[in-house]
Amino acid sequence: MGSLRDVLSPFTAWKHVIETPVTIRNPIGREAADGYRGFHQNDIEKCIGCGSCEVICQNAAIDMVPVSDPVDGDSGLRPKIDYGRCCWCALCVDVCMTGSLTMSNEYTWVDTDPDAFRFIPGVDPKPWDDLEKGYRREGGRVLTGAERVEMGELAPEARIDNFDEIVAGYTREQAMIEADRCVECGLCVATCPAHMDIPDYIAAIREGDYDLGLQILYETNPFSEVCGRVCTHKCETACAARHEGDPIAIRWLKRHIVDNVSEDRRLEIVGTPQTLPTRRKVAIVGAGPAGLTAAYDLARQGHAVTVYEAQDKPGGMMRFGIPEYRLPYAALDRDIAVIAAQGVKIETGVRIGHEITMDRLRAENDAVVLSIGLHIGRSTRIPGTEGGGVETAIDLLRRITAGEEVPVPKQVLVIGGGNVAMDIARSMARLQKVKHGAVGVTVTALEDFAHFLADREEIEESLEEGVEIIDARGPQEVVRFKSGNRKGEVKGLRSWAVTSIFDDKGRFAPQYDQGDERLHPAEMVVEAIGQAADVSILGEDLTEALDWNRGRLAVDVAGRTSEPWLWAAGDAVHGPDVITAVADGHRVAASVGAMLMAMGEVAR
């Protein structure tokens, strides 16, 4: 038997009888902790419907359901949560690419209808929608990489005196890390004009299967090597990763695949047409991305395709518009070689309208595709633009590519704020560096930096190379010497400050401050403001016969003009962009192919 203490001390428990109860009288309505993981909230304006929440949910509690129409970078889908399955782990919140999905600290809700517990947060109104408290992940998203792998580039001093390619391309290790960041939502696919299977080829990189990657690229784009370098990468503006970090370097990853497949292997993988020749003939005018893509598709369908090119080399604007430091000619040649290997005949140095007329093309072929691009450089036509010392950027770029001698004065002024302006500025800078040992290029643009048309990286690289960029200047006059031995030569550009370029509706309505006038000294003025197609090759009769739509050839969705034998594609129809031209080429080829097929049926 224990001591007396052992018998008595348990009775001390009785003291609790007079204590206030510790239980909460009404637990319904007790507020949870600030960071509690309760019912979800979704900021549906911020949400892009990428579906990462659905993918990560191990309970399959989330369905992506349509809430609005899809637009670039937003599928219009929003997560609908089945709370019968939700385990409140909040991985969906942690993985959310935009930070739109959060959890409130509300957790009590009684309802007799089980289906009430399936709803779309942020769409189906709930009392906790505006609660400030609840689970918010700390910092940015951590479950997918947020930072882009930096691309190796030639340093400015190493690149300014030559036309060597600037971008090094990813190593396998770098590409693997960058490819790993992709969440495979596929929002980019809709935005890509050619609807390339972006998540799939990025997955191929992760698997290290470059053959597969290349195969995927060729399913949608025979200019993957070119696009891997100079694509306008609209896809990256739709990338889910951009909302809380850098978008995936989709363009560089595409290039990385091509870089890792030898030329021979590439020809092997792509192969040659697997169908019998159809004996149908197609003429394509212009060997740019649209024309050659259409040629590639049509040749693979078994048709005899001839591409006519006015310049003495194929490639169109890819060759003659884009400087070599951005797109080495060898890269372009490799893409074209695969197309030529499909049996496409490319006749260079043949100017339609001169050596061969459209009528003859029409007579000798079953279909004609017009893909002539935008090769006429626009002029501002301000006073002084007529006469020597004033050039258009397009023309100069073409002459540089063709190896022609171009004037390289010590001080050049470029009018324009787009990528063409940067291209010519940087090209001239290189030529100046070689000839004079110093760069003297000034770019004046109507737009201010906030509204610049050129890509950010183009602007940055231009500045690194010593190009001076002055934004928000309206050109007024090319000033010429009025007397002396340089009489008539260009003295510089007179400009006014632009106080605003767009009105409150975002429309072009330039306002100048005439008091802020400047003279930018220069021996040469280059206009890089815009481009036009040379439709004069069509001839008067055809021009008159065709339907037009506000300055451009009227075409149906498939690119067919009002003349049943004539299709039009590329920049001249849809504006300047390689990938859009590629998409256009596919579209036209499909339409032409369908027509030829129908012809074949009739003949039989």
Partner 1 sequence: MIRFEPDRSQYPQPGDDGKIEIDLETGKYLKLWHGPNHPGITGNMSVELTLCGDEVVEGKTHVGYLHRGFEKLMERRTFIQVFPIVCRVCVPEPDFNEWCYAQAVEELAGIEAPEMAQWIRTLILEMGRFNSYMMAMGGIGGALGMGVIGQWMTYVRDLMLDRFEEMTGARIYHMFILPGGVRGHLPEGFSERMEEVLQTAERYLADVDKAMFTNAVFKARTKGVGVIDPALFEPYGVTGPNARAGGVAKDLRKDAPYLVYDQLEFEVVTETASDIWARARVRRRDIDVSIALIRQILAKMPKEGPVMAKLPNVLHWKIPRGETYVAGESSRGEYGYYLVTDGSGYPRRVNVRGPSYTHAMALLEHLIPGTNIADVAALMVSLHTYPPEIER
Partner 2 sequence: MKTEKLSQMATAEEVIEAVAEFSREAHSFYTDLVPKVTKDIRYLVEDLARAELAHVRMLSDLMKSPDMRDHLKDAIRRPEADRRFSDAVQAPELGDKPDDQQVLQYALAREQVALEEFSELAANTPPGLLHEVFSFLANEETRQKADLEALYYEIVHSGGV
Partner 3 sequence: MMRDLHDHLKTRYRLGDLAERRGNLAFVDVERADLRALLVELRDVHGFTHLSLLTAVDWIEEGRFQLTYLMNNRAANRTLGLRVFLDRADPVGDTIHDLWPTAATYQRELREMFGIAFPGSPRVDEEFILEGWTDMPPYRRDFDTLAYSQQTFSDREGRETHDPRSHMAKKLYPEGQR
Site string for partner 3, 544-573 (x = CB under 8 A): -------------x----------------
Q: Where are the alpha helices (DSSP H) in 234-279?
A: 234-237, 250-259, 263-270
Q: Is 195 in the site for partner 3 (CB under 8 A)?
A: yes
Q: Is 423 in the site for partner 2 (CB under 8 A)?
A: yes
Separation CA 307–CA 439 (nearest Å): 40
Separation CA 269–CA 517 (nearest Å): 60
Separation CA 538–CA 546 (nearest Å): 10
Q: Is 186 in the site for partner 3 (CB under 8 A)?
A: yes
Q: Is 574 in the site for partner 3 (CB under 8 A)?
A: no
Site string for partner 2, 67-86 (x = CB under 8 A): --------------------
Q: Of residues 479, 587, 592, 593, which one binds partner 3 by CB under 8 A? A: 587
3-class secondary structure per residue, 43-84: CCCCCCCCCHHHHHCCCCCEEEEECCCCECCECCEEEEEECC
Q: Which stretch binds partner 2 (CB under 8 A): 40-48, 252-260, 350-358, 418-426?
A: 418-426
559 binds, among partner 3, partner 2, partner 1, none (CB under 5 to 8 A by kind): none
If we measure between CA atoms, which residue out of 11, 261, 246, 63 comes closest to residue 141? 246
Pairing verdict, β 40-42 and 101-103: antiparallel
Q: Is 144 in the site for partner 1 (CB under 8 A)?
A: yes
Q: Which two tokens stand for residue 310?
A: 């006015």
Angle 146-148-236 (CA atoms, 0-180°, nearest 5)? 95
Q: DSSP letters along 433-444, please?
A: HHHHSS--EEEE
Q: Is 337 in the site for partner 3 (CB under 8 A)?
A: no
Which of 75/385 has CB closer to partner 3?
Answer: 75
Q: Of residues 207, 219, 364, 541, which one binds partner 3 by CB under 8 A? A: 219
Q: Is 576 in the site for partner 2 (CB under 8 A)?
A: yes
Binders of partner 1: how many residues, by CB under 8 A?
Answer: 45
89 binds, among partner 1, partner 2, partner 3, none (CB under 5 to 8 A by kind): partner 1
Q: Of residues 70, 208, 575, 600, which one binds partner 2 by CB under 8 A? A: 575
Sheet holding 345-348, edge to edge: 345-348, 304-309, 281-285, 367-370, 566-568
Q: Is 124 in the site for partner 3 (CB under 8 A)?
A: no
Which of 38/51 has CB closer to partner 3?
Answer: 51
Q: Is 577 in the site for partner 2 (CB under 8 A)?
A: yes
Q: How many CA atoms lie within 13 A of 586 on its CB side?
A: 15
The minimum distance between CB 170 and partner 1, in angstroms, equals 16
75 binds, among partner 1, partner 2, partner 3, none (CB under 5 to 8 A by kind): partner 3
Q: Where are the alpha helices (DSSP H) in 234-369?
A: 234-237, 250-259, 263-270, 289-300, 317-320, 329-340, 358-364
Asked whether the beta carbons of 328 and 365 are under 8 A apart, the reply is: no
The minimum distance between CB 378 and partner 2, in angstroms, equals 5
Q: Is 180 in the site for partner 1 (CB under 8 A)?
A: yes
Tally of residues, the chain = 604
What is the dihedral sign for C-alpha 454, 455, 456, 458? negative
Q: Of residues 99, 273, 353, 510, which one binds partner 2 by CB under 8 A? A: 510
Q: Residue 449 carries which DSSP code?
A: G
Asked whether the beta carbons of 483 and 473 are under 8 A apart, the reply is: no
User: Which residues from 251-280 bind partner 2, rule CB under 8 A?
Assistant: none
DSSP H/E element including 370: strand 367-370
Site string for partner 2, 435-474 (x = CB under 8 A): -----------x------x---------------------
Q: Which two tokens stand for residue 580?
A: 């859009």
Site string for partner 3, 84-123 (x = CB under 8 A): x------------------------------x--x-----
143 binds, among partner 2, partner 3, partner 1, none (CB under 5 to 8 A by kind): partner 1
Which residues in this chain contact partner 1 in the complex, by CB under 8 A? Answer: 1-2, 5-7, 9-10, 12-13, 16, 22, 32-37, 52, 55-56, 58-59, 87-91, 94-95, 103, 135, 137-139, 142-145, 180-184, 203, 206
